[in-house]
Each structure stands twice: as structure tokens, then as C-alpha cells.
């Protein structure tokens, strides 16, 4: 035990008590953060052990040695708001051999440090408080600004410019239109109603009664923007409800003054109103012309042409993105579909109807609104009643009377079941969301979109494509027509001039670059020069594959009716194999008595997978349940590469050779072979592709696929799949995939890669900053698992393919699709991100859509040219298509794998298949 009379053990007690004081002081300072901080010379409360040490009296506390306390304090050298700790050398005792008096020395040094640091902290807090006071807007009268209101300010910093130089220049135009504006102030007001109004259309009508105060305005239902200050009498207005003649008080509160150039939100709301001025119908974020609908009577369809617009600030300034789009509607009503289903299915009508309707979208014919059907309620009919609140009085009203009174519609069938659509909305003035259950009358709903049967109808899809897949010339003409419509419409024109805006008469002209075609390398040292159209379908059939895998131990499953087709297929396969450099032996044939799913499953379970390279199943028809069962056994239960062949595709004797060649190429890839390669200049690099699939059948789960290269030519791929619950951070799952891929690379190559390039698909604009701030640092932590000194260069690129950007190449005949390899990296790229656009594929119909790449992190030092060239090169390495694809090969592989797992397997594949492209 320590001798208290000689000062032993007081240092540790001093440390414990001081730690308690520090905690108590930090809590009290948080509680009094709004008060002035005086900065005292001593702490407000001093423990008895510290007092005894300072006065030389013996302490009643017992602890360890003062030397240990000094060492522990020396580690706590970080600053706090109240106390700043100095290095341990400042508080260590001068006479280490003497035990007495060290606690007093320690306390005196700490007291001196606190006396020096606290006045300075008080000064800093005072300066911060003054700055906060200067930035406060005292003129805002309303304190009820919604928290979810987002204001985009155009930054004063220069835009991010990263341009490449390689390639042949070409003149192009894009679907971007410049907006010119005269800088002015915008006055923002909040509009409230007493009593509160639930319908946005009614809010507009109530405000429109007072047009004399704000002839030029932008209003979205709650926020009002005007280019001038409103007079005092416009703050409290009284309107009349046109439906029941009741009086409604309209309260307008001033919020803030902003510059016009800062308010991107205003422009987007403004163009929404312009769309209404042009009498276009809104579906989601797109607007369609009902009057220009194209009828396809033979299929009971109609196509509505429309536009999608977005205003944003780009590298080249403020521009409007304008794209033409189409919506396919069925002229059939839901009630007619119900009657057809009841007639065909009888007692099972509800199950059949649920399969057809649930998850689809319908349009209400009386107000042109889109709703998603979530269920069918046959216990409710138009006779059913619901609660309706009117003049603060609640009353029961039937659907029949509601539609008759409000829309003048007489419902004919009073016994039809109702459709249920569920929605979650945030009501004005409330931070919590409210669940709504919307009841729809089938008689008043029109079917939209196409069914699976309609999509499989080749003739129907060809007729629809005639109107939806428009050429670059037709699309550009639609843009010019839109501009002319805006300028010729008085209301739309007045909206623009009222805000001092003008729209350019033409789309923006640009200079793009077309990268040189990439040469391809096949087996037997054959080099094939690249083509402008980036297509090598003929060369694949004529040349041997780069790396062949002999098919020696394989089995073929077939039914009695497909015996001849299967025999022809095997014979053709053997004839096609030698020119491709593949040796194929005779397979083991398994004849099945019928084509039932459980028959295929039972046959597959009999085989010893250890002795098999490949399983081929010839199925008479395409059935999802049978395909899923075969893939589940071959990918999860008994892992072996598998090939499912539809007998109908190999029945045509004229096409069987070309189809068999493609199947053989797929089989070679699934066994670990390589079809072709290109020149990749990077040494010791790993390329990763990430994509996700949202499982519609299991609404709460999604599938994330991770594919990584593990050889220098980037032709061999390691894959992992993660199924995750709703709300789970995707990065937590990706870290384990990342480490497993690096370990596999180490096993194969004997070293770790020096450079890692990640292509991440399925990320929206709102998640870019989150990836940059959170996911990339988490990825970098994974490197330390493989060694403290391992720090490879990391490049993280987000791939966005669902975009509205279009690029047209100028020619003598007007406009055409640009050639594959066309790069655009200026003017219409993002202002605050390092990004570029690449047209990497050739399309034979319609207009090509470029792919948008955003480089959110790059520590490799790659130039813009190198990054763009590598990205385009990787578009050549997808082995399911003898040409370039829209996204880099690892992304396309990840998409294919995620789709297979999400659509058919519903669980992670076996680890035995991770180093093969079994999912092609």
C-alpha cells in the first residue's frame, strides 16, 4: 500500500479527480453556451485531493504512482474547448527519485496551462459569435421555413475544367439551350391558407383571384417568388372557394431576398408552368401532348409524344436540358380488363387479375393523373362511402355521389371492385409523413405501359418502335418545335420576359473528339484493326479465341420432343469448335420424360458435380420458374457452369450455325476462357465494376454485384454478390468484397495491384457527395487489412447511363448519331465535378444516348486523356456482344450478375464459381 504521508499514490488520485472535473465542466459549458464565457484562472470546482496537494496537506485518496499519471497525461495532448494539454515533458517532475511533492508540481503546471488557454478560448468564442451575428438575416418575418426546402446557390468559384486532347475533332450539337437573363432580385414569400387546403390545384385558384398584386410570379403551392416587393395589403387576402363559396384566408409572409442567378429552383418551376401553358399533361417529371397522340388501333395502343426539361448551371453557364420522350398508353380501361379476366379465369379471376394489375400504373381519365396499383379490394364498390370534410364538418359520401358532384361523371357499373394505391406524403407544416390509401374506380382508369406478352410480340414492338425510336433529325426538329411553341405562346412568352429571361433559338454548338478505333487481338497472334462502327461480329466467327478451354466432361439434358433438335445442336457445336480453337468431346445425354420443372431438378441432383465441367439444359419453351430452378441448383446447391438453351432458337436450320457459335463462345467464357483482348497500357492494376438490382418480389431487399479483374489484360474476372436489407449501408458489404478480391489477386499474381479503378453504376446525383465523403474513405481503410504499408492509387468513377443528354453529329444531311468513341468533356459537363461523356456504342435505330462518367476521386495522377481512353477501352471487353457496349465491361458484368441473382437465384452464388463468368 502507498505511504500517504510521503506523498505516494496522490498522482493517480489527482488524475482521476481532475478527469471528473473536466467532464463536469464540459457539461456545464454546454448548458451555458449562449452566455458569455469569462475564462476564469481556476476551475469552478476543485476536488479535495487537488486542494490537499496544493496546500501540502495529506490527501485522503489512494491510487497509483505519480509517474504513471504523468505518462497518461502526456498522451492526452489534444486540445479541448476548455483545457489545452501540453506535452508530457512540461509536467514531468524534475527529481524522479523523490516521491513526495510530484502531485503538487503536476497541479501547478496544469493550473498554469488552463490560465493561459482559457482567455484565448473566450476570445475565439466571442469572435465566432460576432461573425454569426453578422450573417443573421434580421428582416425575415416568418420563422416557419420548411426544413426540406433546398436552395441551390451558384458558386463564385470557377468551374472544374478537365479536358482531353487526343482524338479527331468533330462538330456536334447537344440538346442544351442557353438561357440568358438580366440580373435582378427575387422576393420569396410563404403562402398559407386558413383553413388549410389539401388540393394543390385549389391553392392555385385561390391565389389567382388576386392577380393584380403578382402578375409575374412563380408558385409551387406553398412558396411564391415575385420579381418585386409586395405591398402591405397583399399580405392578408381573402379568397372564395369556387366549389362551396366559402371564404378562405390567404396569408403571405415574406421570407428572404435573393439574386435571380442563385435560384435554379425558380427556373425549373417556371418551365413547369410553361408546360401547362402549352397544354401538356404531366406524368411524373415528364410532360406529354394528349392532342398529338398517335393511334395504333390494331394493338389497342396510343403513343403520346412529350418532353422532359431540367435547368441547371453547367460548365458553359445556365442552360435548359430538353429531350423528347414518349408514353405508350393502352386504350383499354381497367374495367374491361377485369371483365375479360373474369370470363377467362372464372373463380380464379382475382389471382389472375392481381398478377396483371398489381405493380402496374394506371391513368385516371378525368384528371390525367398516374397511380400505382398496390392491391385490389373486392369488398369495396362505388357504392361504398368514405369520410369527407367540408366546412369543418365531416360527412359520409359514396364514390358514386363524389364523382357526380365534383366531376359530373356518372359511374355505370356499381358493382365493380376498387383499386387501391398507397402513397406516403409530407403535409404542409408537418415534418412527419402521412400514409394515404387512394381508392380508384376501374371504370375511370386507363391502362398504361406494356405487358410482358405485349413486349414479347415482335410485330407489336416493331410498330411501337416506329414512333418511339426517332432519328437524330426528328429529335432535333422536336426541339426546334418546342422553342417555336414557347415563343409563339403569349402566356409562356410573358412568363419569360416578366423574369427578364430569354431562350436561345438554337441548341448549343460544340466541338467533340472521336477517339481512334481500338485494334483487337485473337488467338494464334491474330491482330484485327479496329472499325469506325466498333463491330467485330464477323471476325469472332473467323478467328480462334484468345484462350480456349476444352469441353471434355459435360452433360446435356433434353426432353423426348427435342431429341432431334438436340442432336443437330451437338453436331453443329462439334463442327464450329475446331475453327475457334476449342476441342469438344461427346457429352453425356440425359433424356427426360417431360418438361416439368421438378423433372429437370431431379435429374440435376443425380450428377456428381466434381466430375463435370458444364451442364447444358435444352428446354422446349422459355419459362421463368424452370430457368430459375436450374440456375439455383447450378449456381448455389451444386456449383457448376450451366447453359440453358431454348429449343425454339436452335430449330431454324438456316440460323443454327450462327446461334451455335454464339452459344459456344458463351460456354468458353463460363469455363474461364478468353475470347479476345485489347491493348491495356496499365501494369499491375485492378478494375472493379459495381452495380445493384432492386428485387421487386422482395420489396425490402436489393442485390449488389461486385466484379473485379485479376489479370493484366483485364479478361479474367472475380465476382461476389451481397444481398442486403433495406436501410443497410452498401459500403459495409462492399468492404468484404473488396478485401476478398484483393486476396484473390494476390493468390493469382503473387503481389497486390498498385492501382485500383472502380466504376460504380446505379448512383444518382444526390449521392455523389455521400460517396466522396463516406464510401471512399471506407474503401481506403480496407487497404490496411492487407498490410499497413499497402496504399495503392485509387480512382473512383460513377457511371450514369439513365440520362437525358443527347449528342448529334453535324453532317451534310442534317444530324446523325456520333461514331463510337466520341468524347465530350466541356461546356455541357457539370460545373463542380470532374466529368465527361462518351458515346461508346453503335445503334441502328433511334438516337444514341451517351454515358456520363463522374470522377469523384483520383489519387493515381491519370490525365483526362488517359482516363477517357481507358474507359472507352473497357467498353470493348464484354464477351456477350461482339462490339462495344454502353458501359465499361466490369459494370456490364456486374449488371448481368445482379440481375441473375435478383431475378432468378435470390441468394448468393457459391464461392466455387467466383473466378468464372458463370452468369453470362
> Cell for 620?
422446349
Question: Radius of gyration (Cα) for the chain, nearest Å?
Answer: 35
- Cβ-contact 675, 588 below 8 angstroms: no
Q: How far apart are CA 681 and CA 689, in angstroms?
A: 19
Q: How far apart are CA 504 and CA 375, in angstroms?
A: 47
Q: How far apart are CA 723 and CA 779, in angstroms?
A: 19
How many Cα atoms are found within 13 Å in the side-chain-facing hemisphere of 504?
Answer: 17
Cis peptide before 560 (omega within 30 of 0): no
Q: How far apart are CA 199 and CA 203, in angstroms?
A: 7
Nearest to 191 by CA among 240, 272, 145, 251: 251
Quick one: three-class SS letters along 796-842?
EEEEECCCCCCEEEEECCEEECCCCCEEECCCCCECCCEEEEEECCC
Q: How far apart are CA 706 and CA 835, in angstroms?
A: 23
Q: How far apart are CA 265 and CA 268, in angstroms?
A: 5
Q: How far apart are CA 283 and CA 304, in angstroms?
A: 11
Residue 174 pairs in a beta bridge with 807
Query: In whole angstroms, how far apart are CA 725 and each of 569, 685, 898?
Result: 43, 32, 15
Other C-beta atoms closer than 10 Å to the C-beta of 559 total 20
Q: How far apart are CA 60 and CA 456, in angstroms?
A: 88
> Cell for 397?
359520401
Query: Who's near 138: CB < 8 A, 6+ residues apart?
Result: none
Crossing angle, helix 10-31 and helix 66-75, to 10 degrees? 40
- Cβ-contact 17, 39 below 8 angstroms: no
Q: How far apart are CA 804 and CA 850, in angstroms?
A: 9
Beta strands of 211-284 (E only): which ranges? 218-219, 223-226, 236-240, 247-259, 281-283
| Widest distance between CA atoms in the chain | 107
Catalytic residue list: 691, 729, 761, 895
Q: How far apart are CA 694 and CA 701, in angstroms?
A: 7
Q: How far apart are CA 58 and CA 49, in angstroms?
A: 9
Q: How far apart are CA 161 and CA 1, in angstroms?
A: 71
- Cβ-contact 283, 370 below 8 angstroms: yes
What is the SS3 assignment for 467? helix
Other C-beta atoms closer than 10 Å to the C-beta of 312 total 17
Amino acid at each position: 500500500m502507498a505511504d500517504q504521508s510521503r506523498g505516494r499514490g496522490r498522482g493517480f488520485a489527482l488524475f482521476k479527480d481532475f478527469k471528473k472535473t473536466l467532464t463536469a465542466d464540459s457539461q456545464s459549458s454546454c448548458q451555458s453556451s449562449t452566455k458569455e464565457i469569462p475564462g476564469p484562472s481556476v476551475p469552478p470546482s476543485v476536488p479535495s485531493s487537488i486542494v490537499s496537494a496544493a496546500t501540502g496537506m495529506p490527501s485522503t485518496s489512494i491510487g497509483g504512482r505519480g509517474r504513471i499519471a504523468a505518462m497518461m497525461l502526456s498522451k492526452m495532448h489534444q486540445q479541448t474547448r476548455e483545457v489545452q494539454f501540453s506535452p508530457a515533458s512540461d509536467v514531468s517532475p524534475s527529481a524522479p527519485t523523490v516521491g513526495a511533492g510530484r502531485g503538487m508540481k503536476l497541479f501547478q503546471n496544469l493550473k498554469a496551462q488552463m490560465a493561459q488557454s482559457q482567455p484565448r478560448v473566450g476570445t475565439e468564442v466571442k469572435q465566432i459569435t460576432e461573425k454569426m451575428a453578422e450573417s443573421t438575416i434580421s428582416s425575415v418575418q416568418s420563422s416557419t421555413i420548411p426544413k426540406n426546402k433546398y436552395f441551390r446557390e451558384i458558386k463564385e468559384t470557377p468551374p472544374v475544367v478537365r479536358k482531353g486532347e487526343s482524338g479527331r475533332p468533330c462538330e456536334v450539337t447537344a440538346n442544351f439551350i442557353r438561357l440568358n437573363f438580366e440580373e435582378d432580385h427575387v422576393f420569396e414569400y410563404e403562402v398559407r391558407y386558413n383553413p388549410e387546403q389539401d388540393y394543390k390545384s385549389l391553392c392555385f385558384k385561390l391565389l389567382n383571384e388576386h392577380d393584380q398584386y403578382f402578375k409575374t410570379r412563380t408558385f409551387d403551392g406553398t412558396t411564391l417568388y415575385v420579381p418585386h416587393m409586395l405591398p402591405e395589403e397583399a399580405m392578408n387576402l381573402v379568397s372564395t372557394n369556387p366549389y362551396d363559396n366559402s371564404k378562405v384566408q390567404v396569408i403571405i409572409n415574406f421570407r428572404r431576398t435573393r439574386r435571380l442567378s442563385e435560384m435554379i429552383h425558380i427556373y425549373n418551376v417556371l418551365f413547369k408552368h410553361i408546360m401547362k401553358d402549352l397544354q401538356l399533361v404531366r406524368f411524373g417529371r415528364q410532360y406529354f401532348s394528349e392532342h398529338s397522340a398517335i393511334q395504333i388501333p390494331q394493338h389497342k395502343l396510343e403513343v403520346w409524344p412529350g418532353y422532359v426539361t431540367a435547368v441547371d448551371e453547367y460548365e458553359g453557364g445556365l442552360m435548359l436540358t430538353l429531350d423528347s420522350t414518349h408514353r405508350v398508353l393502352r386504350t383499354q380501361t381497367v374495367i374491361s380488363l377485369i371483365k375479360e379476366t373474369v370470363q377467362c379465369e372464372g373463380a380464379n379471376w382475382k389471382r389472375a387479375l392481381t398478377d396483371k394489375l398489381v405493380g402496374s400504373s394506371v391513368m385516371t381519365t378525368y384528371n390525367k393523373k398516374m397511380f400505382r396499383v398496390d392491391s385490389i379490394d373486392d369488398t369495396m364498390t362505388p357504392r361504398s362511402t368514405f369520410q369527407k370534410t367540408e366546412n369543418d364538418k365531416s360527412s359520409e359520401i359514396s364514390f358514386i355521389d363524389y364523382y357526380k358532384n365534383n366531376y359530373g361523371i356518372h359511374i355505370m357499373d356499381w358493382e365493380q371492385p376498387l383499386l387501391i394505391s398507397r402513397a406516403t406524403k409530407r403535409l404542409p407544416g408537418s415534418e412527419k409523413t402521412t400514409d394515404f390509401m387512394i381508392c380508384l374506380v376501374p371504370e375511370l382508369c386507363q391502362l398504361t405501359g406494356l405487358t410482358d406478352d405485349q413486349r414479347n410480340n415482335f410485330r407489336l414492338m416493331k410498330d411501337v418502335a416506329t414512333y418511339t425510336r426517332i432519328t437524330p433529325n426528328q429529335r432535333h426538329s422536336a426541339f426546334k418545335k418546342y422553342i417555336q411553341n414557347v415563343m409563339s405562346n403569349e402566356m409562356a412568352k410573358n412568363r419569360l420576359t416578366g423574369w427578364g429571361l430569354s431562350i436561345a433559338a438554337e441548341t448549343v454548338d460544340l466541338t467533340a473528339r472521336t477517339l481512334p478505333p481500338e485494334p483487337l487481338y485473337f488467338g494464334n497472334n491474330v491482330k484485327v484493326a479496329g472499325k469506325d462502327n466498333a463491330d467485330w461480329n464477323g471476325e469472332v466467327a473467323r478467328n480462334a479465341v484468345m484462350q480456349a478451354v476444352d469441353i471434355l466432361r459435360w452433360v446435356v439434358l433434353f426432353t423426348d420432343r427435342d431429341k432431334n433438335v438436340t442432336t443437330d445442336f451437338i453436331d453443329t457445336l462439334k463442327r464450329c469448335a475446331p475453327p475457334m480453337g476449342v476441342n469438344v468431346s461427346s457429352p453425356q445425354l440425359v433424356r427426360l420424360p417431360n418438361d416439368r420443372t421438378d423433372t429437370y431438378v431431379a435429374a440435376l441432383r443425380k450428377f456428381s458435380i466434381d466430375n463435370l465441367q458444364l451442364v447444358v439444359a435444352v428446354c422446349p419453351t422459355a419459362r421463368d420458374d424452370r430457368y430459375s430452378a436450374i440456375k439455383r441448383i447450378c449456381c448455389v446447391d451444386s456449383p457448376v457452369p450451366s447453359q440453358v438453351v431454348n429449343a425454339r432458337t436452335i430449330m431454324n436450320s438456316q440460323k443454327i450455325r450462327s446461334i451455335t457459335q454464339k452459344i459456344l463462345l458463351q460456354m468458353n467464357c463460363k469455363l474461364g476462357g478468353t475470347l479476345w483482348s485489347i491493348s491495356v497500357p496499365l501494369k499491375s492494376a485492378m478494375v472493379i465494376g459495381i452495380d445493384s438490382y432492386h428485387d421487386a418480389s422482395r420489396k425490402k431487399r436489393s442485390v449488389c454485384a461486385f466484379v473485379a479483374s485479376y489479370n493484366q489484360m483485364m479478361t479474367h474476372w472475380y465476382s461476389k454478390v451481397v444481398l442486403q436489407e433495406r436501410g443497410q449501408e452498401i459500403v459495409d458489404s462492399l468492404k468484404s468484397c473488396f478485401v476478398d478480391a484483393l486476396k484473390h489477386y494476390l493468390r493469382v499474381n503473387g503481389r497486390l495491384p498498385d492501382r485500383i479503378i472502380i466504376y460504380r453504376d446505379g448512383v444518382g446525383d444526390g449521392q455523389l457527395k455521400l460517396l466522396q465523403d463516406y464510401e471512399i474513405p471506407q474503401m481506403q481503410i480496407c487497404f490496411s487489412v492487407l498490410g499497413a504499408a499497402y496504399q495503392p492509387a485509387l480512382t473512383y468513377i460513377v457511371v450514369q447511363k439513365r440520362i437525358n443528354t443527347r449528342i448529334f453529329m453535324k453532317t451534310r444531311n442534317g444530324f446523325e448519331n456520333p461514331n463510337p468513341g466520341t468524347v465530350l468533356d466541356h461546356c455541357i459537363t457539370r460545373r463542380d465535378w470532374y466529368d465527361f461523356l462518351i458515346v461508346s456504342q453503335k445503334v441502328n435505330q433511334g438516337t444514341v444516348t451517351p454515358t456520363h462518367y463522374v470522377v469523384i476521386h483520383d489519387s493515381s495522377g491519370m490525365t483526362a486523356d488517359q482516363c477517357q481512353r481507358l474507359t472507352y477501352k473497357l467498353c470493348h471487353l464484354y464477351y456477350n456482344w461482339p462490339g462495344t457496349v454502353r458501359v465499361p465491361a466490369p459494370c456490364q458484368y456486374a449488371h448481368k450478375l445482379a440481375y441473375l441473382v435478383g431475378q432468378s437465384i435470390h441468394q448468393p452464388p457459391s464461392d466455387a464459381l467466383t473466378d468464372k463468368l458463370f452468369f453470362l
